[in-house]
Amino acid sequence: MSDQELTELIQKVSQEYFGKPFIHRAMFNSRLRTTGGRFHLNDRHIDINLRIYQEFGNQALIGVIKHELCHYHLYNDGLPAQHKDRSFKVLLKQVGGLRYSPIQSTVKSKTYHVYECSKCHTIYRRVKK
């Protein structure tokens, strides 16, 4: 899927679920690691993690698009658009968007190395070897 096709999909989802147009651009961003997408306030474009589409399919992609469109439309209407805000939570539930990215569950947790002092036997946990 190209960036143009992604923008067209977002425009279609925006009209179908929100009844409002999406007039900015959208693109895949392969640098995103743990988040499904990002709405940029300065120029109002949307980045979507390419792994969402590749690894989780079209349904997860549409769920992430709905999530980002909630930020987009609330911000454009001058309403609170953060994750903690009630207006965001209510709108997200109405349109059936994903609350959390499916990528977060696949991210590895940190590995800790355990060291013990040979004299006092104190245990030290470190991330770096």
From 16, 55, 68, 116, the catalytic residue: 68
- The residues, ordered by sequence, that sit 6+ positions from 63 with a Cβ below 8 Å of its Cβ are 96, 97, 98
68 is catalytic: yes
- The residues, ordered by sequence, that sit 6+ positions from 13 with a Cβ below 8 Å of its Cβ are 62, 65, 66, 69
How many residues are there in the chain?
Answer: 129
Active site residues: 68
